[in-house]
A and B are shown apart, each in its own frame.
Chain A
Amino acid sequence: MTVYTTNEIRNGMKVMIDGDPCVILANEFVKPGKGQAFNRIKIRNLKTGRVVERTYKSGDSLDGADVVDIDAQFLYSDGMHWHFMSSETYEQYLMSEAEVADTKLWLKEQAECLLTLWNGTPLAVTPPIFITLKIVETDPGVRGDTSGGGGKPAKLETGAVVRVPLFVQEGELVKVDTRTGEYVSRAKE
């Protein structure tokens, strides 16, 4: 296990705090001229997503967390588990519905994702930034409207609901930004 002292801690490093893997968001050196030096560390818990701040005496150490990101393909969901396969080793991983959380709305079979592993077990999945999905349900648009102003809700094949322009119809393919959940453009197969 790697151990880091507070002055080695950099943004983006993964460390163990309260038994959970966390990512460092900020590390501020605080030192009164004549007094004890501290490091104020801001972290995001990778399991819960919560952001917290902790203060350490400078020079104290933190255990590194064995967290790695791998490229993986989303294979399928059986309703209980979401199955992924490493693009490099072809090893398969599975995540529960609670673990994939809202990301499931952006997972289409065969999509290339980023799988975050902690001690070899998936912790989180990041979908591709842009994905193309089919509209399975939306109201017919008003004839002649091509402006896109306003828009309407459309349900996609993964269950996600996004706002699309009025001229986009059921059965069409749309490109969506998964970071914001916003419609980008119409797409071809």
Chain B
Amino acid sequence: MLPPKSSWSPSATVEILQTRAKLMAGIRDFFSKRQVLEVETPLLSHGTITDPHIQAIPALFIGAEKKTVFLQTSPEYAMKRLLAADVGAIYQICKAFRQGEIGKLHNPEFTLLEWYRPGFDHHDLMDEMSDLLQCILQTKPIVRLSYHEIFETYLKINPHTASFVELAICAEKNQVDMVSDLSDRNAWLNLLLSHCIEPHLGQENPVFVYDFPASQAALAKIRPENPPVASRFELYFKGVELANGFHELLDAKEQRKRFEADLLFRKQQGLGASSIDERFLAALEKGLPDCAGVALGIDRLMMLALGCPSIKEAMSFHFEHA
């Protein structure tokens, strides 16, 4: 329910805003000392993502003609276009927007810290992220566990080989009563991860989960091992997903194939249509330096650092107060 229109007050306290500002300054200082360049990229873009589980918020631009443009869901494509222009190591703190996402850990408008490191792979970037968190939040050292390991530890199941039915039985055994029809194996894996594993992750030391199934590679390189795994990682702290990173896919042809697969999946599942961002693909064709990149949710980080019950209390005005 929306608060009354006359409710003008912020959702965060002044103390929280001051601490937030201090942490932001700490982040900028961290990158400045390491000669990582701060950049800004458009929040309003002509293109958007194909990712089936992320929907962009459209906006209407009225110029010579009316055109639907999109609030960016992440600065990833624009930042990679900068990398293709040989800008070197870059970071950005910006707003990102996602349609329909609202809850204890979601706000349709949120703040991301995203950075890219030419010459790094995903493990090098995990090292740097670990330094950042210990530097600004004094966290304990970050533990690394593979996607395979967390499923074996918490659910005694192999996420790479388990069948559809085995995943469904596993959910049932763990008191997850799934009502909807999940026709996609990755959806079952996401259900188990979010409901049964995530709450346990990072309760003491923050945890990096790495080497995701190839079917969840997104924009990460896939390594042809047995089974093939994606050079993708996520950070979990106190049961909350905080960051997602990749050893970035550089192959424009492979990238186009993944985009086309996304579009097909969207069509099959009756999700909204989208289109391929050709400017991003053109940058990949020109060539990107070998690099790793990661995006970290700043509001969630603040929420955990400040002991807030939800992200609402960590931002000046959450969506219902905006």
* Chain A residues within CB distance 8 Å of chain B: 7, 10, 28-38, 40, 52-58, 60
Bound-state CA distance A36–B193 (Å) is 11
Of the listed stretches B14-22, B40-48, B157-165, B183-191, chain A binds B183-191
Residues of B within 8 A of A10 (CB): 1
Min distance, Cβ B18 to any Cβ of chain A, angstroms: 28
Q: Is B102 among interface residues, defined by CB-CB distance under 8 A? A: yes
Q: List the B residue with the shortest CB-CB distance to A36.
A: B187
Bound-state CA distance A36–B180 (Å) is 12
Q: List the A residue with the shortest CB-CB distance to B217.
A: A34
A55 touches B193 (CB 8 A): no
Residues of A within 8 A of B182 (CB): 36, 57
Min distance, Cβ A16 to any Cβ of chain B, angstroms: 12
Residues of B within 8 A of A32 (CB): 190, 193-194, 241
Bound-state CA distance A10–B216 (Å) is 32
Bound-state CA distance A55–B175 (Å) is 10
Quick one: given A29-B101, A29-B104, A31-B106, are A36 and B1 in contact (CB under 8 Å)? no
B51 interface neighbour in A7, A34, A53, A57, Cβ under 8 Å: A34
Quick one: given A31-B106, A35-B216, are A60 and B195 in contact (CB under 8 Å)? no
A30 touches B194 (CB 8 A): yes
The 5 A-B pairs at the shortest CB distance, nearest first, are namely: A29-B103, A35-B190, A57-B180, A36-B187, A60-B180
Bound-state CA distance A34–B50 (Å) is 11
Q: Is B53 among interface residues, defined by CB-CB distance under 8 A? A: yes
Quick one: given A29-B106, A32-B193, A36-B187, are A60 and B241 in contact (CB under 8 Å)? no
A55 touches B186 (CB 8 A): no
Residues of B within 8 A of A53 (CB): 175, 177
Bound-state CA distance A73–B234 (Å) is 59
A33 touches B177 (CB 8 A): no
Bound-state CA distance A37–B98 (Å) is 12
Residues of A within 8 A of B195 (CB): 30, 38, 40, 55
Q: Is B309 among interface residues, defined by CB-CB distance under 8 A? A: no
Quick one: given A28-B104, A29-B106, A38-B194, are A56 and B234 in contact (CB under 8 Å)? no
Bound-state CA distance A129–B105 (Å) is 37
Residues of A within 8 A of B1 (CB): 10
Bound-state CA distance A58–B104 (Å) is 15
Q: Is B100 among interface residues, defined by CB-CB distance under 8 A? A: yes
B216 touches A55 (CB 8 A): no
